[in-house]
Amino acid sequence: MSSSVHFTKGKGIRLYTPQNEEYIDAVSGTFNLALGYSHPELVDVLKTQVEDLIHVSSSFTGELAQNVLDSILDHAPEHITDGWMRDIIGSTANEGAVKIANKYNGKNEVISLSMSHHGQTLFATSISGNAFRRKSFSNTISTQSGIVPAPYCYRCPYSAKGAPECGFLCTEAIHDYVQYSSSGNVSCLIIEPILGNGGNIIPPEGYFERIRKICDELDIVLIADEVQTGIGRTGHMFASEHYDIQPDIITLAKGLGGIGIPAAAILYRAEYAVLEKFEHSYTSGGNLLSLTATQKTMEVVSREGFLEDVRTNGKVLGELLNTLKEDYGHIIGDVRGIGYMWGLEIVDKDGAPDVDLSNKIIDLALTDHKMILRGSRYGFGNVVKVRPALTATLDDIEEIYLRLDKLFSQL
């Protein structure tokens, strides 16, 4: 994406240049601005917090951190009753989740999905399902981990015609991996409920049930990386709850900070409370600004009607994107999504992934239509993502559609 535009102000889903030119951000930053730019309620509490006290050691924030954690747990799937508020980014939250799994079951191998993204520290890079980010560090990366196929039905890695007729070959692959290729010491499986960077890949019905069953059978801890899907993105507070994934551990970041304040959390079943503070803490983990932003974000997102609006408006967004697919079927091969988390699979005349065209669409959106879109880097790199802030109104959704329509008519 071109980064030549300079923004100095933001409000809701809109950004402004110093010359007051208005742009629409259809992807809420990097999908982290759950409440959009500068949500006034968050700005207010943060202003007060900055004036009162910006930082104090986490030795003195225990009670506040617990209160904030409780406000997240109040909305978590029923079996998830405890957690950890000592991270500020998703990468280390995922590392913490793996540490917990390792310590819990005394094993150490991690399995993840192809095209997954779990962060960019060395460890998170090593367990993410893509090689291009690992390439330059292959000497350093030593984590024992295995990658199994993603549930990418639109381009099934087995060329199957869809679930359940396929027999869920991609979940069977986990069995095979553990039995024939692993170290014999597999500790956990980490999955994104919807593979975000992989191209908004939504698993077919029955997938999560199988994943849970396999983890039980093989004594593997199931970690749901909800860094993208958590805190309302799907129209539900947690994708784990909506899809009934029943993970043992959930990680959160991005949307948790509401307006871009870094915040992260690890949530788990009570019996997974195995970490000592000295095993997973960071200087800025659970800092006062993160906790303040998280607390207010939880309050806003859990307000009556808020998530219902995301579900209702998200449906409209899906219908409008599908209208685009009908009108521009030679360019849009598939429309996938739920809530405010959508992806358009861009194809060439033969239906093959068209990465150049995807990039052109993203560039044109910015230059000609004053709208920010993002593309998937993984998989084939041909999915254009549409993920506005959860506060986007129906008018905002309509505006995004109109700009997309103009853009596609230009191609």
Ligand X SMILES: Cc1ncc(COP(=O)(O)O)c(C=O)c1O
Q: Where do contacts with ligand X occur on this chain (CB under 6 A)?
A: 89-91, 94, 117-119, 192, 196-197, 225, 227-228, 253
Of the pair 333, 375, the CB lying nearest ligand X is at 375
Query: Can you spell out the DSSP letters for 94-161?
Result: HHHHHHHHHHHHS--EEEEETT----SSHHHHHHSS-STTTGGGTTT----EEEE----GGG-TT---
SS3 11: strand
The nearer residue to ligand X, 242 or 370, going by C-beta atoms, is 242
Least gap, CB of 402 to ligand X (angstroms): 28
Q: Which residue has the tokens 């951000």?
A: 25
Give the H or E element holding residue 251.
strand 249-252
3-state SS string for 36-93:
CECCHHHHHHHHHHHHHCCCCCHHHCHHHHHHHHHHHHCCCCCCCCEEEEEECCHHHH
**Could you tell me if 213 and 164 are in contact, meaning their C-beta atoms sit under 8 angstroms apart?**
no
Looking at the Cβ atoms of 131 and 352, the one nearer to ligand X is 131
Smallest distance, ligand X to C-beta of residue 167, A: 28
Q: Please, what is the minimum distance in Å from the beta carbon of residue 30 to ligand X?
A: 6
Evaluated on CA atoms 49, 280, 144, 243, the torsion sign reads negative
CA distance linking residue 334 with residue 329, whole number of Å: 9
Q: Is the Cβ of residue 91 or residue 358 nearer to ligand X in the bound state?
A: 91
CA–CA gap between residue 265 and residue 87 (Å, rounded): 6
Write down the least CB distance from residue 304 to ligand X, Å.
29
**Locate tokens 């950890």: which residue?**
84
Chain residue whose CB lies nearest ligand X: 90
Residue 122 Cβ vs ligand X, minimum distance, rounded to whole Å: 12
The least CB distance from residue 223 to ligand X, in Å, is 11
- Closest contact distance (angstroms) between CB of 72 and ligand X is 16
Pairing mode of beta strands 221-225, 249-252: parallel
CB neighbours of residue 349 within 10 Å: 8
Of the pair 297, 399, the CB lying nearest ligand X is at 297
Both tokens assigned to 166: 């396929």
Q: Which CB, 188 or 253, lies closer to ligand X? A: 253
| String of DSSP letters for 286-353 | T-HHHHHHHHHHHHHHTSTTHHHHHHHHHHHHHHHHHHHHHHTTTTEEEEEEETTEEEEEEB-TTS-B
Across 362-375, b (16+ Cβ under 10 Å) vs e yields bebbbeebbbbbbb
Cα 307 from chain centre: 17
Q: To the nearest whole angstrom, how small is the minimum distance from the Cβ of residue 227 to ligand X?
A: 3
Shortest CB 222 distance to ligand X, Å: 15
Smaller CB distance to ligand X: residue 92 or 292? 92
Whose CA is closest to 4, among 19, 17, 22, 13? 17
CB of 329 to ligand X, least distance (A): 29
Residue closer to ligand X (CB basis): 88 or 178 = 88
Instruction: Specify the residue, 119 or 151, whose C-beta has the smaller distance to ligand X.
Output: 119
18: its two tokens: 């110093």
Q: Which is nearer to ligand X, 119 or 388 (CB)?
A: 119
Question: What is the rounded distance in angstroms from the CA atom of residue 232 to the CA atom of residue 349?
Answer: 36
Sequence length of the chain is 411
- Choice between 192 and 399, CB closer to ligand X: 192
CB of 362 to ligand X, least distance (A): 17
